[in-house]
Amino acid sequence: MDRYIFIIVLLACVLRAVRCYSSGKVTGACDNMTPQHKKGAQQSPAPFSVTTDRFSFKEGDEIIVKLLAASTPFTGFMLQAREVGGSSPLGSFTVTSGEAQPLTCNGLPNSAISHTSSSPKSSIQGIWRAPTSGNLNSIQFSASFVKDYSTFWVGVRSSPVTYNIAAAPPASSTSITSTASSSSEVSNSSTGCDSTKVCFSQPLNCDPGVSPDCYFLSAMTSLGDTAIQLEMTGPSDGYIAIGFSDDQRMGNDDIYICGRDSGGLIQLQHAFSTGRKTPEILPLGNVSDVKSSVNNSIISCSFTTRNPISTQRSGGSSSLYYLMIVHGPSNNGKIGPHTGTFISDTKVDISSPQIVTSEKEPPIIKAHGSLMLIAWMTTGSLGMIIARYLKGVAKGKHYFGKDVWFLVHVFLMTLTVAATIIAFILAFSEVGGWSGGVHPVLGCIVMILAFFQPIGAMFRCGPHHHLRFLFNWSHALNAVAIKGLAVAAIFTGLSYFSTSEDSWLLKVMGGFVGWEATMYILLEFHMRWKRNGEIKYIMISIKCRLMIYSPPIILLNAG
């Protein structure tokens, strides 16, 4: 009998304890934030995260804090704000739903929040208000999560929130500012590449500590640890970003962005690419040791992440990813379309130290560039030269009732327009849509003007019409405009792929354009010299004829 009474009393105590814990009245755990479950906390990375809507604060500011579940829900939690490295709660919380309640810890009312029931939760939001006085410093939000009685995590922290008397306002969902920050100087280096870490750079094997034009990404892991130490740096007027992808196209990529916020500070941001548009901003998650800096437009970030890399594969699993580095402008903290992209040519295991090489240009893009070079540096140039300077060649010879020069001119310019149209279609089929930057704008203008040039020629008036000069001038000026814009488009296109330090592609193209311009100048000078010579010859001939016939005329007049 006594045995049964003991069991009943024991069950009642356990049920009372469970009922107490499920109600969230856990003030006994305020100091160490450890649930009194007679079990040890999990040592594996927590499938939960703590995020904030701002990276800095001042006295009296309010910060929205979110507790998020990645895959599995949590049943219990406790959240406090503490000074970085401290052990005492700061400030006060306001709850926004019935699933959370304020607690009094260390005699401070509302200095923590916890659950109200053991129902599964995927997210909790609270509003933390900073003290209005006192010696404030940077803070972190620390949380404990309970999955079930024997499974819980302690000390899951947000990124540091910096105390700043001139703190910036909260950021929007597409802004760079809702992230972790640090003003520490970042010194990225190629030391350890191929021995202790994975390195991917453009130009290949450049050292960011030596070359200011080096775009650099490194990843280092530790044996038995899920943490990944990442570094990125490169010149940019807005942001640089690194990504992990299943393919070599934008879309379904796990991305970290290092860029300027609305105040010009450098911030880190976690995002997910859903295609050729602004990526979806994610909670920064389990990221620590964030450092960022900017020096002479060289943006740098380093950090440690325990977030799992997610590319939302349709099936299977792998630790191999293509590595990406992109850079572009930003406006008031919002990233713009990237203006440069570097992608590894193979998938990479980031746990295996190596030096990664860049993807070669896709064949379709090579074909696009080749056709544009053929069109506007070969056939187009020859067609224009023939129409301007070589009309006298094969003079008097006609085919199909047309001069030979005219037939050759039409043939070459038809090839030029056809090559331009094909190159235009190839580029859009490869890119899959509109891409920002100067190059596509110039390409579209060239395409439109080149398309209407032969149409205008088909409806020209006759050679002896009194308005023929209007066609001649408009046709010639439009051709010059197309030529100039096409050359500019070729230069901007080559700049995407000119990754060598000496930019030899652009130099070769510059030499080619300079040689062609010199040829045009010489041909123009020769044509005008020849024309002036012909005029002088005609004048001399007329004068001689007048001298020959003038004596008889004089005699007749005298008679």
Domain boundaries, the chain: 2-163, 198-356, 363-497
Long-range contacts formed by 249-252: CB under 8 A, 24+ apart: 249/432, 250/275, 250/276, 251/275, 251/276, 252/311, 252/312
- Return d(Cα 213, Cα 91) in angstroms, integer: 45
521 CB-near residues (< 8 Å, 6+ apart) = none
CB atoms within 10 A of CB 222: 12
Q: How many residues does the chain have?
A: 559
Partners of 62 in beta bridges: 129
326 CB-near residues (< 8 Å, 6+ apart) = 240, 241, 243, 338, 340, 341, 342
- Return d(Cα 422, Cα 401) in angstroms, integer: 31
- Return d(Cα 431, Cα 250) in angstroms, integer: 9
Per-residue CA distances from 543 to 237, 376, 556 (Å) = 70, 47, 20
- Return d(Cα 219, Cα 237) in angstroms, integer: 24
Position 312 scores a pLDDT of 63
1.20.120.1770, 1.10.8.10, 3.40.50.720, 1.10.150.120: which CATH number matches 363-497? 1.20.120.1770
Question: Which SS3 state, helix, strand or coil, does residue 163 take?
Answer: strand
- Return d(Cα 317, Cα 315) in angstroms, integer: 7
Position 341 scores a pLDDT of 83
Look at the domain 198-356 and name its fold: Immunoglobulin-like (2.60.40)
Q: From 199, 79, 210, select the one nearest 145 (Cα to Cα).
A: 79
As to burial, measured by CB atoms within 10 angstroms (0-12 exposed, 13-18 middle, 19+ buried), residue 541 is: exposed
Position 234 scores a pLDDT of 92
CB–CB of 202/215 below 8 Å?
A: yes
What are the average pLDDT values for consecutive 10-residue runs of the chain, which has 559 residues? 51 44 70 78 84 81 86 89 87 88 89 90 90 85 89 86 60 40 59 85 84 88 79 92 85 88 83 80 84 87 87 58 90 81 87 81 78 88 84 76 85 91 83 68 89 86 84 88 89 71 77 87 83 67 60 49
Position 51 scores a pLDDT of 83
CB–CB of 339/256 below 8 Å?
A: no
Give me the half-sphere count of Cα atoms (radius 13 Å) on the Cβ side of residue 138.
14
CB–CB of 176/332 below 8 Å?
A: no
Position 517 scores a pLDDT of 87
Long-range contacts formed by 115-121: CB under 8 A, 24+ apart: 115/22, 115/24, 115/75, 115/76, 115/77, 116/23, 116/24, 117/22, 117/23, 117/24, 118/22, 118/75, 118/76, 119/75, 120/73, 120/74, 120/75, 121/67, 121/69, 121/73, 121/74, 121/75, 121/77
User: Which CATH code is given to the segment(s) 2-163?
Assistant: 2.60.40.4060
CB–CB of 277/351 below 8 Å?
A: no
As to burial, measured by CB atoms within 10 angstroms (0-12 exposed, 13-18 middle, 19+ buried), residue 34 is: middle
2-163 and 363-497 have identical folds: no
Question: Which SS3 state, helix, strand or coil, does residue 5 take?
Answer: helix
- Return d(Cα 321, Cα 257) in angstroms, integer: 18
Handedness of CA 493, 499, 501, 505 (dihedral sign): negative
Report CA dihedral (412, 416, 418, 424) to the nearest 10 degrees. 170
- Return d(Cα 322, Cα 193) in angstroms, integer: 17
Say which amino acid occupies 173.
S
Q: What is the DSSP letter of 169?
A: P
Position 218 scores a pLDDT of 92
For the chain, the helix, strand and coil percentages under 3-state DSSP, each to the nearest 5: 35, 30, 35
Is-cis flag, bond preceding 203, omega within 30? yes
CB atoms within 10 A of CB 100: 22
Q: In this structure, what are the phi and psi dihedrals at residue 152, rounded to the nearest 5 degrees?
A: -155, 160
